[in-house]
């Protein structure tokens, strides 16, 4: 005879098993292909893999010269944002609701064009556009409706966050370790092209406030980022007309400790959201 406690245990296991098969709150489907399991869409070329998960989180991971994925510590996170533009010019982020995300695109590898729609708290709706390009991906987006968030203007932006690429390198210790680290970072460079076509070069090992006007000006149009852990390859970012980029870091310090490239369209000139951020690698 099965005891009451045994029945409850069986029912509990059954419930947990059922819950495990239920979809997560994210509304986008999951790719079932082995190489892209856990992603909604994935795009790959000879240099990197770009993917978006069902809850709207995106990332770029570089590939070695042999085509293998680099360490997950080198993953670059791509964050789609809806923000309120406050009277003082600062931005307040609106939380995206993963369960509202939807797309007519089925989960797939290497789709040419994907449009994702969703909402944030406050019921404002937005669109994300992902296009496969010859050199990588083109990303963009727009605000569709403000919902109840009408007190301040809204903008759609994209944050591309580079990690601390030398987190596991020995920067402190004996002189040999210091010398090895100096040699490792010797060729690291960041080159920017400003909206006025002025060129700015940064040495990632130097301590800087990346948000300073001297590094951002009226906006950045192109950025080429070369860091040795990416095995001789450089990331190339380009803002299409009617959009621009800015640089920032959490606090003044060497850029190889981590920094953010933020892209946004000009709301006055790009109301239809046709401007794009190009992400490539060479």
What pLDDT score was predicted for residue 271? 86
What pLDDT score was predicted for residue 6? 43
What residues contact residue 59 under an 8 Å CB cut-off, 6+ apart? 50, 51, 75, 76, 77, 78
What pLDDT score was predicted for residue 173? 64
Q: Which CATH architecture has domain 10-281?
A: Distorted Sandwich (2.70)
Residue 93 half-sphere exposure toward CB, CA atoms < 13 A: 9
Q: Are 105 and 41 in contact (CB under 8 A)?
A: yes
Terminal-residue alpha carbon distance, the chain = 70
Q: Look-up: residue for tokens 């210790």?
A: 173
pLDDT bin (cut points 50, 70, 90) of residue 211 is very high
Least reliable range by pLDDT among 21-30, 36-45, 64-73: 21-30
Q: Look-up: residue for tokens 């003082």?
A: 88
What pLDDT score was predicted for residue 267? 85
Rg, Å, the chain Cα set: 22
What pLDDT score was predicted for residue 122? 93
Distance CA 132, CA 233 (A): 20
pLDDT bin (cut points 50, 70, 90) of residue 158 is very high
| Closest C-alpha among 275, 248, 250, 279 to residue 261 | 248
Distance CA 115, CA 101 (A): 10
Share of the chain above pLDDT 90, in %: 74
What pLDDT score was predicted for residue 26? 61
How far is residue 134 CA from its own chain's centroid? 19
What pLDDT score was predicted for residue 196? 92
pLDDT (tens digit per residue) in 119-138: 999 999 999 999 999 989 99
Q: What mean pLDDT is predicted for residues 269-273?
A: 91
Using the predicted structure, report yes or no on whether residue 23 has a pLDDT greater than 60.
no
Domain ranges for the chain: 10-281
What pLDDT score was predicted for residue 177? 77
| Closest C-alpha among 260, 187, 190 to residue 228 | 187
Pull the structure tokens for residue 167: 């987190």
Q: Record the pTM.
A: 0.87
Using the predicted structure, report yes or no on whether residue 2 has a pLDDT greater than 70.
no
Distance CA 147, CA 98 (A): 17
DSSP string, the chain: ---HHHHHHHHHHHHHHHHHHSPPS--S----SGGGTT-SEEEE-SSEEEEE-TTS-EEEEEB-TTSPBPPGGG-EEEEEEEEEE-TTS-EEEE-B-GGG-B-SSPSEES-SEEEEEEEBTTS-EEEEEEEE-SSEEEEEEEEEE-TT--SS-EEEEEEEEE--TTTTS--SSSHHHHHHHHHHTTT-EEEEEETTS-EEEE-TTSEE-TTSHHHHTT-EEEEEEE-GGGTT-EEEEEEPTTEEEEEE-SSSEEGGG-EEEEEEE-TTT-TT----EEEEE-
Using the predicted structure, report yes or no on whether residue 73 has a pLDDT greater than 60.
yes
Distance CA 165, CA 230 (A): 9
Return mean pLDDT, the chain: 88
């Amino acid at each position: 005879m099965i005891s009451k406690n045994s029945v409850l245990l069986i029912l509990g296991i059954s419930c947990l098993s059922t819950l495990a098969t239920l979809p997560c709150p994210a509304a986008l489907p999951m790719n079932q292909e082995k190489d892209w399991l856990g992603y909604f869409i994935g795009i790959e070329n000879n240099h990197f893999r770009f993917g978006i998960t069902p809850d709207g989180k995106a990332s770029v991971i570089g590939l070695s010269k042999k085509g293998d994925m680099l360490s997950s510590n080198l993953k670059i996170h791509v964050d789609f944002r809806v923000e309120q533009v406050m009277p003082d010019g600062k931005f307040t982020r609106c939380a995206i609701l993963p369960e509202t995300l939807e797309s007519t695109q089925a989960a797939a590898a290497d789709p040419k064009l994907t449009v994702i729609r969703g909402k944030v708290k406050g019921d404002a709706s937005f669109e994300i556009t992902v296009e496969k390009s010859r050199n990588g991906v083109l990303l963009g987006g727009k605000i569709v409706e403000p919902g109840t968030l009408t007190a301040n203007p809204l903008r759609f932006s994209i944050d591309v966050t580079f990690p601390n690429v030398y987190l596991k390198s020995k920067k402190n210790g004996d002189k040999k370790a210091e010398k090895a680290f100096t040699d490792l970072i010797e060729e690291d460079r960041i080159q920017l092209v400003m909206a006025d076509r002025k060129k700015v070069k940064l040495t990632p090992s130097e301590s800087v406030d990346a948000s300073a006007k001297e590094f951002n000006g009226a906006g950045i149009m192109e950025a080429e980022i070369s860091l040795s852990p990416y095995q001789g390859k450089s990331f190339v970012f380009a803002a299409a007309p009617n959009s621009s980029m800015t640089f920032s870091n959490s606090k003044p310090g060497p850029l190889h400790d981590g920094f953010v490239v933020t892209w946004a369209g000009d709301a006055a000139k790009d109301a239809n959201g046709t401007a794009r951020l190009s992400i490539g690698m060479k």
